Amino acid sequence: MNIKGNTILITGGTSGIGLAFAEEFIKEGNQVIITGRRADRLEEISKRLPGIITKLSDVVDAAQRTELADWVKQNHPETNILINNAGVQLVVDLKTPLDLDRIAPEIETNFIAPVHLGSLFVPILGENANATIMNVTSGLAFVPIALMPIYCATKAAMHSFTLSLRYQLKDIGIKVFEIAPPSVDTELGHDRRADKSQSHGGIPVSEFIAGAMDAIRNDVYEATVGMSAGLREKREAVFESMNDRIKLI
Ligand SMILES: NC(=O)c1ccc[n+]([C@@H]2O[C@H](COP(=O)([O-])OP(=O)(O)OC[C@H]3O[C@@H](n4cnc5c(N)ncnc54)[C@H](OP(=O)(O)O)[C@@H]3O)[C@@H](O)[C@H]2O)c1
């Protein structure tokens, strides 16, 4: 697809993959809007990246999702790409009763929000050329890490949903990408690390973005970057061996 001259809304652009996509798309000559919950981060980014548009918005709140779509329609009707990127990841012990107040926002962020936002944005994107939705899933959509069972299930659900979305939207000319990152060194899972500067061993964000941009440029609609490709290919065949090896920081 043409990666220049678009107006792109990225959910969760205050750090990691969302922020790196924003920087890359600005460099390529696109207008970029990012969202997030951290007002201080949004302010710092708008000072550092002139031209970027920021919007405080929490994807967990359905009313804020509707307000975001209304705001985009009103202020940036030329928006033609939605990147559903915002995500959270929890370690969950399945041997004890679940704390639903903790789990529900993870499901809402990773699954319900991108499904709802997609539906709200279809009428906006559909008015413009090069209309596209990109859902950021994970290599863990194909092979789960048992310690993060809800996270992996939401990503598997997003993989399935993205197939259906792509199938339904092809008739109205909206392209649908799935971007499945491997382990990437971002703030994901920071809350469970004593030393927040500690890496979880993923690849550098710049390396991931280079692979993802290559796939986007070449219309690879299911973009499995790095080791995600191997996970997609082998699926459950590597589940036991992968989980036996995993030690989370
Ligand atoms: N890093 C990896 O190894 C990896 C691997 C596979 C897939 N992914 C996926 O990549 C995506 C980006 O994650 P990342 O690795 O870049 O992690 P990150 O650095 O923690 O970034 C997560 C982003 O999501 C935003 N976010 C979280 N909850 C939100 C909410 N309720 N409303 C709005 N924004 C929210 C955060 O912004 P605020 O905190 O400001 O709200 C932040 O900008 C996620 O979908 C993740 O599952 C990551």
Nearest CA to ligand 1 atom 23: 12
Tokens of 6: 């678009």
Distance CA 134, CA 8 (A): 10
Report if residue 2 sits inside a domain: no
Distance CA 165, CA 131 (A): 13
Residue 33 has pLDDT above 90, yes or no: yes
Residue 64 lies in domain: 7-245
The two beta strands, 175-180 and 222-224, are parallel
Residue 146 has pLDDT above 80, yes or no: yes
> Which run of H or of E encompasses 35?
strand 31-36
Calculate the average pLDDT of the chain: 94
CA 18 to ligand 1 center in whole angstroms = 7
Q: Which amino acid is present at 22?
A: A
Q: What is the per-residue pLDDT for 126?
A: 97
Mutate to test the pocket of ligand 1, among 88, 209, 228 (most ligand atoms within 8 A of CB): 88
Nearest CA to ligand 1 atom 46: 87
Instruction: Summarize pLDDT for 155-206 with one digit per residue, the tens.
Output: 999 999 999 999 999 999 999 999 999 999 999 987 776 666 656 679 999 9
| Residues annotated as catalytic (active site), given as ranges | 151
Number of domains in the chain: 1
Residue 154 has pLDDT above 80, yes or no: yes
| 102 C-beta closer than 6 A to ligand 1 | no
Report if residue 1 sits inside a domain: no
| 183 C-beta closer than 6 A to ligand 1 | yes
CA 13 to ligand 1 center in whole angstroms = 8
Q: Where are the alpha helices (DSSP H) in 49-181?
A: 62-75, 100-107, 113-125, 149-169
Which range of 56-70, 190-204, 227-241 scores highest in mean pLDDT? It is: 56-70
Instruction: Work out which ligand 1 atom sits closest to the CA atom of 200.
Output: 3
| 14 C-beta closer than 6 A to ligand 1 | yes
Q: Which amino acid is present at 173?
A: G
CATH number for the domain spanning 80: value is 3.40.50.720
Q: What is the per-residue pLDDT for 50?
A: 86
Distance CA 19, CA 22 (A): 5
Q: Work out the percent of the chain whose per-residue pLDDT is above 70.
A: 96
Q: 57: burial class by Cβ within 10 Å (0-12, 13-18, 19+)? A: buried
Rg (CA), the chain: 17
Buried b / exposed e across 34-54, counting CB within 10 Å, b at 16+? bbbbeeebbeebeeebeebbb
Higher pLDDT, 235 or 106: 106
Distance CA 128, CA 174 (A): 10
Report if residue 50 sits inside a domain: yes
